[in-house]
Amino acid sequence: TPQYKKHEQARTSQETDGQAKPQGVDFFQDKRSPRHHTRFHTAIKSECTLLRKEMTIKLDETEKQPAAAPDICLTNVYRAHSDDLVETADERRLFSVGGTTGIGAGVASDEDGDGVPIIDLAQPAEVVEEELWKAANDVGFFNVNHGIPQEVIDGMFEQSITFFDQTVSEKKEQCPFDRALNSGYEFKEQIRPSSGRPDQKESYHISPRAGAMDDRWPTKPTTLRGFAETAMIPEAHQLSMRILSSLERRGCTHLEPGTLEQAITLWGEHSRSCLRILRYPPMTVEENEEMQVPGNVHWRAAPHTDFSCLSLLFQREGEGGLECRANPRSAVGSGDKAKWLPVNPVKGGISVNIGDMLSHWSDGELFANLHRVRMPRDASECAKSRYSIGYFTQADDSHVIVTKNGDPITAGDYIKMRLKANFK
């Protein structure tokens, strides 16, 4: 990487024991050099992600390894450099700590009554703000009764089902995927750092950014574009701004009121939010069993945190599978052994979670917790598709994220590194 080259040039120009260091000294094996800096390790490992299927990456003994444990707690500490994203390294660490089954070995349960809270946004503003703050710092996920017309949500699902009811080649031809723009169609191309294996899903990314959707709108259904542009995206964006503004008042006290809303625009040159429709295809019982054998564990969506400031997830009743890991800092989370909870579809509700970008912006005051989509549990779940819709609110590429304790970073640099570490 450029960072490695820059560091290597500076290091090899130094003198050791009165003699100039020879050029070309191996960065990893050189025991005379200072301890390897984490930021360079992270950048190098990010570059290696795309080679994961072809080769095994082995770091030398001098790299500090995480302590063996059945579970770990994400730190949510960020160094604010585009080439130095701790959350990417942490997700990758989940894979190494968990062995053959990964951190997802825990079974989700809300038998103790510590379920995902439901917040009615029709309550007085001060009550909503208090409940949002509590939910964001307790479980980390919450459902909201929201005010988006149900016909808009149902209509978007209808558009989604029609689109996915085509062959993979037809969808790829109509909507080629562009990783840099985060737009277009992908089929099982997302490989989470926590699993090292493709998520068992397909998705169509709609980026409300000038030029991002050129030649990427589907011809079937022809109505999908208009519905997304005029109904679903505006409604989801408005709801996201309302929730973000409430969380900003307590979580980002160093910011001028309204900073988050002003940083997020639609259809501009630097806009970065994304509407994503998803389908988790059916599979045979035999395929499902094969993908849950130790050493070959797959997920419909492996454990991860979102890149976004805020994520809205629309689910359909009867199509469960989403699960979250409670905030380890809370009583529900109980530290490093935070429990997994099901995030079941709620009639008239939308599931909401904090993303990495907002967690960074708030200096960790707001927690971005892990979530996943489990594999089918029985033959009936194997036999049917699972559909969901996600709206991910992200600051414009050109916006500089300023925190109290870290260096500035542009939202664009941040997102590019996260995308690079997740798509093959």
The CATH number of residue 366's host domain is: 2.60.120.330
Structural domain includes residue 375: yes
Structural domain includes residue 18: no
* Residue that wins the pLDDT comparison between 205 and 75: 205
Structural domain includes residue 68: no
Question: What would the two tokens of residue 304 be?
Answer: 């991860």
Task: Output DSSP code: residue 268.
Answer: B
- State which amino acid sits at residue 388: S
* pLDDT over 50 at 24, yes or no: no
* pLDDT over 60 at 95, yes or no: no
Give the pLDDT band (50/70/90) at residue 240: very high
Question: What would the two tokens of residue 356 be?
Answer: 């990495």
Which pTM was predicted? 0.76
* pLDDT over 80 at 160, yes or no: yes
Mean pLDDT of 377-401: 96
pLDDT, position 345? 93
Structural domain includes residue 70: no
Range of the domain at 234: 118-332+339-422
The structural domain count of the chain equals 1
pLDDT in tens, 270-313: 999 999 999 999 999 999 999 999 888 899 999 999 989 999 99
Q: Which helix (H) or strand (E) holds 242?
A: helix 233-251
pLDDT, position 413? 87
Structural domain includes residue 8: no
Give the pLDDT band (50/70/90) at residue 208: very high
* pLDDT over 70 at 331, yes or no: no
Average pLDDT value over all residues in the chain: 78
Query: 318: helix, coil or strand?
Result: coil
* pLDDT over 70 at 35, yes or no: no
User: Which one of 45-59, 141-155, 316-330 scores highest in mean pLDDT?
Assistant: 141-155
Mean pLDDT of 221-233: 97
Straight-line distance from the first to the last Cα atom of the chain, in angstroms, rounded to the nearest whole number: 18
pLDDT, position 225? 98
Lowest mean pLDDT among 253-267, 300-314, 401-415: 401-415
Rounded to whole angstroms, the Cα distance separating 156 from 98 reads 37
Structural domain includes residue 104: no
Q: Angle, nearest 10°, between helix axes 2-12 and 38-48?
A: 140
Structural domain includes residue 359: yes
Lowest mean pLDDT among 12-21, 70-79, 100-109, 195-204: 70-79
* Residue that wins the pLDDT comparison between 6 and 418: 418
Structural domain includes residue 185: yes
